[in-house]
Amino acid sequence: MAWLTATYEIASEPEQIEARAAALALEQSVECPLEAIGDRRVLDEIVAKVDAIRPSGAGRYQVDIKIATETTGGEPAQLMNMIFGNCSIWENVRFLDVDLPAPLLSRFRGPRHGIAGIRTLLDAPERAMTCTALKPQGLPVADLVKICSTFALGGVDVIKDDHGIADQTYSPFAERVPALQHAVSEASQRTERPVFYAPTLTGTPRVLRKHAQLARDEGVRFVLVAPMIVGLPAFFDLVEEFPEFVYLAHPSFSGMRIDPPLLFGKLFRLFGADATIFVNYGGRFAYTPDTSRAIATAAREPWSDLAPTLPIPAGGMTLERVEEMIAFYGPDVMLLIGGNLLIAREHLLERTREFVSRVYLSALREATR
Amino acid sequence: MAWLTATYEIASEPEQIEARAAALALEQSVECPLEAIGDRRVLDEIVAKVDAIRPSGAGRYQVDIKIATETTGGEPAQLMNMIFGNCSIWENVRFLDVDLPAPLLSRFRGPRHGIAGIRTLLDAPERAMTCTALKPQGLPVADLVKICSTFALGGVDVIKDDHGIADQTYSPFAERVPALQHAVSEASQRTERPVFYAPTLTGTPRVLRKHAQLARDEGVRFVLVAPMIVGLPAFFDLVEEFPEFVYLAHPSFSGMRIDPPLLFGKLFRLFGADATIFVNYGGRFAYTPDTSRAIATAAREPWSDLAPTLPIPAGGMTLERVEEMIAFYGPDVMLLIGGNLLIAREHLLERTREFVSRVYLSALREATR
């Protein structure tokens, strides 16, 4: 009999916290009153238990709940159901952390490539890496090809689809992917350095698989997937079935009461994200430096035998912040700047080169400091 | 060129609301500064537009955004990405409603059975219907069979797995489903009235499909699926591939800033839920009567040619509330009481019969009032 520990923050009056914690334990296990249960084994081994209650600020408590690993069935959908299913609806509950015992953890292989694998593909053993995005959606494939070639000649490591580019009539997947893959191959031959195109994989599971096969056949190595859009279990399946891809996880549709380091760092890593795109502080989203740093830590820190996930801070970043970001995150990072390159319009190549060289230089500066 | 309209509530200072609404429109379309866009067609036909801003309370505004339907690619994953992707991360934004133009709506067939189909299967042309749940998880199959037979002999219409019962070692799917399906068939022969078992379908897409096939082969007609757990696109795929099932949607893992009537009524219906289990007021969750009523309205009201979805208010309901709930929701409802039946232990049959007869009687009373 093994237990996982899930930690929640509950907003509560002091006199109610014990009852609320107990209710949470029932909700996330047997979901019925204890008096309805006659079976001794269920009471002892299946009902979740409140393990600890710690005050964590005015009217807030951190509560550890022990949940029987047996209830998760050892698979991703039911794991999420047990650790943050019904209680996700309680507005006073926030999911902070989860600690999985080794036998359960071993059912999840995590990133197949991780930071080390990405570094090998990019031939970038130590430095910070670069990423940009093809935008805006609505452009025909030929225009995306031009932008992509410019980015590639400018020296960016990974050029991803904007996460809004999917399979629309103006740039259909089956036409776009071969064209952009060809564009990066050509640029790579000219520059004699690796550069990768990462198409968006999205859709229902049947479409996902069809698109993944097409991308694989074209020689694509990096893909962009929003795990919360396609569904965490579908993301897990995709990684299992197409382990040759490097998965860049995108945070779209993730606005739940889950602590960002837990979701974008730990859970996306558990489910197989090789890199995790998340909100950097000071951009279009209201994250603090502490939150952004904690996401990077959760993605990279040692965790059983799961490979580390590469942090990709993003969300309205600018060239002017390159040095600050590399100083903040260190070299195990990929900087993603999209719109702030594209504003250069006809000077896109120069601005891309400036981005790449600023990353190289500051990585060098950091390394020799 | 067609546009869908998405409505959000934005918390904002009055002097910032215009800028915030404009930022939301960019975030949910091209996701880059306007100055980065040189293409006239993209500016005119792809960039989302702020259509209206209405004050809706202190520091709150309702904002209508017109989003080009072309950007959705006409499929469920990308639709969600466009209407509530990145902006789901903005804590000051709440997704209130969406209005889809006919050509886009026609890509979604909605419920295949709906209220009328369920009534036919249950041979219940007019009355309110009953549902209960097999609990607690952790019991071996033989014990679940006993409880299920008792519920069935007691006259309940639909007996569903607890949403925590998935594919665990103590009641594996492949063993449980045939046994419980057999139990309801036998009871149905004895009582000479229809009764259905609804197993949980969950897991990654590959497991979902395997389990759906097994259930279909066993003659199962009702299934329980948590669309947010398996992922909305996977749910959509399942409904497409297995249209013979009546889908009971469960709200687990749904705690996002989406208005409950929109998610549990409208979107689940759009994606194919024949019935929607949601939080009734006055139970284990803090919903108001207005919210619960609005969910039922969104599920049932006329909406293009989509069949109405059956509301199943639940979440800690008791026998004592049967009359009140039927008066509140009217006859097009299915009442779900689980734990409050099971507390009867050795008197489960009697309590089940009381539940069923109270529903029959109050439905009759309402009909003749």
3-state SS of B61-123? EEEEEEEEHHHHCCCHHHHHHHHHCHHHHCCCEEEEEEECCHHHHCCCCCCCCHHHHHHHHHC
Please list, in sequence order, all residues whose beta carbon lies within 8 angstroms of the beta carbon of residue A120, skipping any fewer than 6 positions away: none
Cα gap A315→B32, rounded to integer Å: 10
Chain centre to alpha carbon of residue A214: 23
**What angle do helix axes B205-217 and B232-241 make, rounded to 10 degrees?**
30
Radius of gyration of chain B measured on its C-alpha atoms? 22
| Token duo for residue B259 | 């208005």
Which residue out of B42, B89, B202, B238 would a mutagenesis test of the A interface target, given it has the greatest number of A Cβ atoms within 10 Å?
B89
Whether residue A74 is predicted with pLDDT greater than 70 in this model: the reply is: yes
Burial tier of A349 (Cβ tally within 10 Å: 0-12, 13-18, 19+): middle
Whether residue A73 is predicted with pLDDT greater than 70 in this model: the reply is: yes
User: Per-residue pLDDT averaged across A37-42, rounded?
Assistant: 95
Residues of chain B contacting A255 with CB distance shorter than 8 Å? 84, 87-91, 256-257
CATH code, B3-105? 3.30.70.150
B140 vs chain A: nearest CA distance in angstroms? 10
Which residue out of A84, A137, A211 would a mutagenesis test of the B interface target, given it has the greatest number of B Cβ atoms within 10 Å?
A137
Categorize the per-residue pLDDT at A286 as very low, low, confident or very high, splitting at 50, 70 and 90: confident
Whether residue A316 is predicted with pLDDT greater than 90 in this model: the reply is: no
Q: Report the chain A residue with the minimal C-alpha distance to residue B341.
A: A36
Contact of B253 with chain A, judged by CB distance below 8 Å, is answered with: yes
CB-based contact B298:B265 (threshold 8 Å): yes
Contact of A35 with chain B, judged by CB distance below 8 Å, is answered with: yes
A255 vs chain B: nearest CA distance in angstroms? 4
Per-residue pLDDT at A37: 94
Please list, in sequence order, all residues whose beta carbon lies within 8 angstroms of the beta carbon of residue A335, skipping any fewer than 6 positions away: A128, A129, A130, A131, A312, A313, A317, A322, A325, A326, A355, A359
A168 vs chain B: nearest CA distance in angstroms? 5
B172 vs chain A: nearest CA distance in angstroms? 9
User: Per-residue pLDDT averaged across A15-39, rounded?
Assistant: 95
Nearest to B291 by CA among B321, B325, B318, B261: B261
Phi-psi region of A240 (alpha: psi -120 to 50; beta: other; left: phi over 0): alpha
Whether residue A75 is predicted with pLDDT greater than 80 in this model: the reply is: yes
SS3 B355: helix
Categorize the per-residue pLDDT at A368 as very low, low, confident or very high, splitting at 50, 70 and 90: confident
Q: Which of A85, A87, A284 sits opposite B229 (nearest CB)?
A: A85
Per-residue pLDDT at B295: 98
- B233 and A236 within 8 Å at the Cβ level: the answer is no
CB-based contact A124:A170 (threshold 8 Å): no
| Token duo for residue A323 | 């040095």
| Token duo for residue B270 | 């759009």
Per-residue pLDDT at B316: 87
Per-residue pLDDT at B368: 80
Average pLDDT for runs of 10 along chain B of length 369: 94 97 96 93 97 96 98 97 97 97 95 98 97 97 98 98 97 98 98 97 98 98 98 98 98 97 98 97 87 98 98 94 96 96 96 97 82
Cα gap A237→A225, rounded to integer Å: 12
Residues of chain B contacting A68 with CB distance shorter than 8 Å? 138
- B164 and A71 within 8 Å at the Cβ level: the answer is yes
Per-residue pLDDT at B363: 81
A window 151-210, beta carbon within 8 A of B: 162-164, 166-170, 202-208
Per-residue pLDDT at A1: 64
Whether residue A285 is predicted with pLDDT greater than 80 in this model: the reply is: no
Nearest to B172 by CA among B133, B209, B137, B147: B137
Cα gap B3→B45, rounded to integer Å: 9
Q: Report the chain B residue with the minimal C-alpha distance to residue A253.
A: B85
B window 39-98, beta carbon within 8 A of A: 39, 41-42, 45-47, 68, 70-73, 75-78, 80-82, 84-91
The domain defined by B114-367 folds into TIM Barrel (3.20.20)
| Token duo for residue A116 | 């080390």
B window 209-238, beta carbon within 8 A of A: 226, 229-234, 236-237
Contact of A299 with chain B, judged by CB distance below 8 Å, is answered with: no
| Token duo for residue A192 | 């004699």
- B23 and A284 within 8 Å at the Cβ level: the answer is yes
What angle is formed at CA A320 by the lines to CA A314 and CA A321, rounded to 5 degrees? Answer: 45
Per-residue pLDDT at B364: 84
Which residue out of A10, A35, A43, A78 would a mutagenesis test of the B interface target, given it has the greatest number of B Cβ atoms within 10 Å?
A78
- pLDDT tens-digit map of A97-113: 999 999 999 999 999 99
Residues of chain A contacting B202 with CB distance shorter than 8 Å? 77-78, 81
- A30 and B77 within 8 Å at the Cβ level: the answer is no
Contact of B351 with chain A, judged by CB distance below 8 Å, is answered with: no
| Token duo for residue B85 | 């992707």
Q: Which of B88, B135, B241 sits opposite A36 (nearest CB)?
A: B135
Per-residue pLDDT at A210: 98
Cα gap A336→A318, rounded to integer Å: 9
Whether residue A364 is predicted with pLDDT greater than 90 in this model: the reply is: no
- A163 and B286 within 8 Å at the Cβ level: the answer is no
Q: Report the chain B residue with the minimal C-alpha distance to residue A30.
A: B136
Which residue out of A24, A26, A28, A30 would a mutagenesis test of the B interface target, given it has the greatest number of B Cβ atoms within 10 Å?
A30
Cα gap A19→B8, rounded to integer Å: 35
B window 87-116, beta carbon within 8 A of A: 87-91
Residues of chain A contacting B253 with CB distance shorter than 8 Å? 80-81, 84-85, 88
Nearest to B63 by CA among B98, B35, B34, B90: B98
Reduce the secondary structure of chain A to three states and give it as a string.
CCEEEEEEEEECCHHHHHHHHHHHHHHCCCCCCHHHCCCHHHHHHHCCEEEEEEECCCCEEEEEEEEEHHHHCCCHHHHHHHHHCHHHHCCCEEEEEEECCHHHHCCCCCCCCHHHHHHHHHCCCCCCEEEEEECCCCCCHHHHHHHHHHHHHCCCCEEEECCCCCCCCCCCHHHHHHHHHHHHHHHHHHHCCCCEEECECCCCHHHHHHHHHHHHHCCCCEEEECHHHHCHHHHHHHHHHCCCCEEEECCCCCCECECHHHHHHHHHHHHCCCEEEEECCCCCCCCCHHHHHHHHHHHHCCCCCCCCCEEEEECCCCHHHHHHHHHHHCCCCEEECCHHHHCCHHHHHHHHHHHHHHHHHHHHHHHCC
- A136 and B203 within 8 Å at the Cβ level: the answer is no
Q: Is the ipTM of this complex over 0.85?
A: yes
Domain ranges of chain A: 3-105, 114-367
* DSSP state at residue B253: T
Residues of chain B contacting A169 with CB distance shorter than 8 Å? 70, 73
Cα gap A361→A128, rounded to integer Å: 10
Per-residue pLDDT at B1: 64
pTM for this predicted structure: 0.97
Phi, psi of B204 (to 5 degrees): -70, 165
